[in-house]
Amino acid sequence: MSLLKSTFAVLTGACLCSMVSAQSPSKEHGAQARLQQVAQFDHQVTGVTVAKDGRIFVNFPRWTEDAPVSVAEVASDGSIKPYPDQTWNAWRNAKRDEMDPGQHFVCVQSVVADQQGNLWVLDPAAPAQSTLVPGGPKLVKIDLASNAVKQVIAFDQTAAPQGSYLNDVRFSSDGRLAYITDSGARGALLVVDLTSGKARRLLDGHSSTQPEKGVVIKTDGKPLRRPDGRGVEFAADGIALSPDGKYLYWQAIKGRTLYRIATGALDDAALPAKSVEDKVEKVGENGPADGLLFDRKGRMYISAVEENAIKVREDGKVSVLLQDSRLRWPDTFALGPDGAVYVTSSRIMDMHWFKPENPPALKTTLFRIEGTPR
């Protein structure tokens, strides 16, 4: 069996037997939420997105291995295939001097399908979340009808300096702007004009985009640390746009606090940086979290990385939607055209960084959440 085909296990009737009900789900959410396995991969997955026509896309960053595929489409026959083609996925770390980082995926962190029929690929171009490959940070637009790259927005060192790690992206309601979190050494938000390609770096070093002092990420009941004692220091990471497009939300993984800002403040290119900072609002505490997503009913899904759980914020209250031992670091959420929510389990706590005895390549999983009202 080929490497690509072996990396994917398609959902079958047998998977129904593997559904696991939530442990102590909140009664207010109605039907009991549970996980349904959609796919399993031989490599560490982070991002997932579902297009308007139901096509599913995932990505594999180059963190502890030189992953053979960066962006893939999940096919109905149970295989994955490089997307949009093999050429864009041909980058290998060992061949970096032979390849143009602006025309290949270097270390992809996120994929997001918009409402205009495009797939956007966010490439921070920092393998192992370390040294940034010059000329590599970019946002790539792929037309889903033709499967062709239509635009490459390159980020210079003003937008993506060394130490940055562009993490996740959301798009304004009119499709004119992109909002990006930087979870690197100096957290920030980027606002990108998708027509001109111009990017503005905002809230750079602001307390809302930084790791919170005193917060120690724990998994399996113990502080998550590397052998040299370093813990999790990810800055602004999870990002979500309110259903009406009026507010952008974010938080650091090493943090408890959820923040937001009116998109009108971000969209105004003439607004001074200090004025933007003054408009940041504290929403409340989610606890340490990675991915964020609003569903159609305005509920915020929260990946509770310490608890192998998914929480929901609704009417200012946070409750556990489901908890499952298979959710080893719930990472990224995606909303399907039918209103179903998908989530990846990226197993960050099991990485070679934190557990040197583990192999560089980790098997990871894509789930669909069933049993919640849509």
Express each pLDDT in 332-364 by its tens digit.
999 999 999 999 999 999 999 999 999 999 999
pLDDT at 373: 74
What is the percent of the chain with per-residue pLDDT over 70, rounded to a whole number? Answer: 91
What is the percent of the chain with per-residue pLDDT over 90, rounded to a whole number? Answer: 88
Question: What is the rounded average pLDDT of the residues 23-49?
Answer: 79
Which of the residue ranges 22-36, 141-155, 207-221, 309-323 would you say has the lowest mean pLDDT? 22-36
Given a cut of 80, whether residue 17 has pLDDT beyond it is: no
Question: With bands split at pLDDT 50, 70 and 90, how would you rate the model's confidence at 22?
Answer: very low
pLDDT at 79: 78
User: In this structure, how many other beta carbons lie within 10 angstroms of the beta carbon of residue 275?
Assistant: 11
Given a cut of 50, whether residue 1 has pLDDT beyond it is: no
Question: What is the rounded average pLDDT of the residues 290-311?
Answer: 97
Question: What is the rounded average pLDDT of the residues 74-79?
Answer: 75
What are the chain's domains? 3-206+319-370 (2.120.10.30)
Given a cut of 90, whether residue 7 has pLDDT beyond it is: no
Question: What is the rounded average pLDDT of the residues 266-272?
Answer: 95
pLDDT at 374: 76
Given a cut of 80, whether residue 329 has pLDDT beyond it is: yes
Share the mean pLDDT of the chain: 91
What pLDDT digit, counting tens, does each position of 175-222 carry?
Answer: 999 999 999 998 999 999 999 999 999 999 999 999 999 999 999 999
pLDDT at 31: 60
Question: What is the rounded average pLDDT of the residues 118-137?
Answer: 97
Question: With bands split at pLDDT 50, 70 and 90, how would you rate the model's confidence at 75?
Answer: confident
Residue 75 vs residue 33, higher pLDDT: 33
> What's the whole-model pTM score?
0.91
Given a cut of 60, whether residue 80 has pLDDT beyond it is: yes
